[in-house]
Amino acid sequence: MDTMDLDRDILEFIGRGMDQPPDDAAFNALALRVFAHQFARNVPYRRLCQRRGRTPATVDHWRRIPWVPVGAFKELTLACAPPEQAVAVFMTSGTTRAERRGKHYLTTLEIYDASMRPNFAAHVLPDGARLPFFILYPPPAVLPNSSLSHYLDVGVRAFGAPGSGWFVGEKGLDGAGLTEALREAEAMARPALLIGASFAFVHFLDYCAERGLRFHLPPGSRIMDTGGFKGRSREVGRQDLYRLLGAVFGIPDTHCVNMYGMTEFSVQFYDVPLRRLAAGRPPARFTVGPPWSRTRVIDPETGDEKPAGQAGVLLHVDLANRNTVSCILTEDLGRTLDDGFELLGRVRGAEARGCSMAVDDLLSAARP
């Protein structure tokens, strides 16, 4: 299979946009082609598939494509092309030991960027607003191996208005600079988008509390947070975070959007309050992926899919992950809800054991 042809067809599928009518047949056909590509070129993954008795000759539906546990990205090079051919290497955070960080090798950024733009626009800018981005995260120059830094850079380049800026750098949070930018937005009655990791918002809330700062950003202002509390010294629940953000910035929770993403994926998942508001639909908060992804909720020990509403481990199929593995079992708990899913936290107990067993199984299969 020609990689360029596959990339072209993935880009064409993404190019149909966020509002394309459901087409499970087209998704399935492309998912099977991606699986065949990865089976042929990703050696550790191929060995796992063979161990499970599943090959492109026997798998006829995307639900049967063998999955890889996300923890395996810390143990193996899961890539279809040699690492030296990668144009970007995104690495997970959480440790100073590079050999223990998950690595996502990309031989092209075109698909990653094409996947990001329409999904972001549909959920964060569904009204077509052109806003300055006030970014509470380090730029790519500071974190060159961060998928989130790249993601935010793509967003601000594609959609950010003049006056956009980054307010976390090598020296940490630039509270004074962000305060000045927010005061200017107030004075000019110019709506703004605050965007960044949740823990950075918590630090700025502390900064504001210490100085008695409050802002009244103009209507149309909004917030996008990206989670990311794991391993941090302080954690705030999402609803508590949105309440605090509303008190400090004057932004209602209908204009607060969470993005859920992982280094090992090329798609991001968003919750829907702002998109539903723009469409005149009743308020709701659940998480969805773009049409070029699918999400299942499974029992990691048995691989069985959980009934709707029951908690299990989230498994995502990502057609944009062409160079690694398209079907990945996360370490996140969730349940299907409405037209999407609800995040319930990190795996624990039996789910954690199941994920660990899955990593062991993959490592055993990967040995020649």
pLDDT score at 349: 57
Q: What CATH number should be reported for the domain whose range is 111-288?
A: 3.40.50.980
Domain boundaries, the chain: 3-107+292-366, 111-288
pLDDT score at 99: 62
* Tokens encoding 25: 């047949």
Amino acid at site 47: R
Residue 178 · residue 139 · CB < 8 Å: no
- In this predicted model, what pLDDT tens digit does every residue of 84-105 receive, in sequence order? 999 999 998 765 555 678 999 9
| Residues of the chain where predicted confidence (pLDDT) is lower than 70 | 1, 94-99, 228-236, 349-368
CATH fold match for the domains 3-107+292-366 and 111-288: yes
- In this predicted model, what pLDDT tens digit does every residue of 353-365 receive, in sequence order? 443 444 455 455 5
3-107+292-366, CATH topology level: Rossmann fold (3.40.50)
CA-CA distance, 27 to 326, in Å (whole number)? Answer: 12
Q: What is the 3-state secondary structure (H, E, C) of 212-263?
A: CCCCCCCCCCEEEECCCCCCCCCCCCHHHHHHHHHHHHCCCHHHEEEEECCC
Q: Where are the alpha helices (DSSP H) in the chain?
A: 3-15, 24-41, 43-51, 110-124, 147-159, 175-187, 198-211, 238-249, 273-278, 349-366
Closest C-alpha among 348, 353, 354 to residue 298:
354
pLDDT score at 361: 52
pLDDT score at 365: 54
pLDDT score at 348: 73
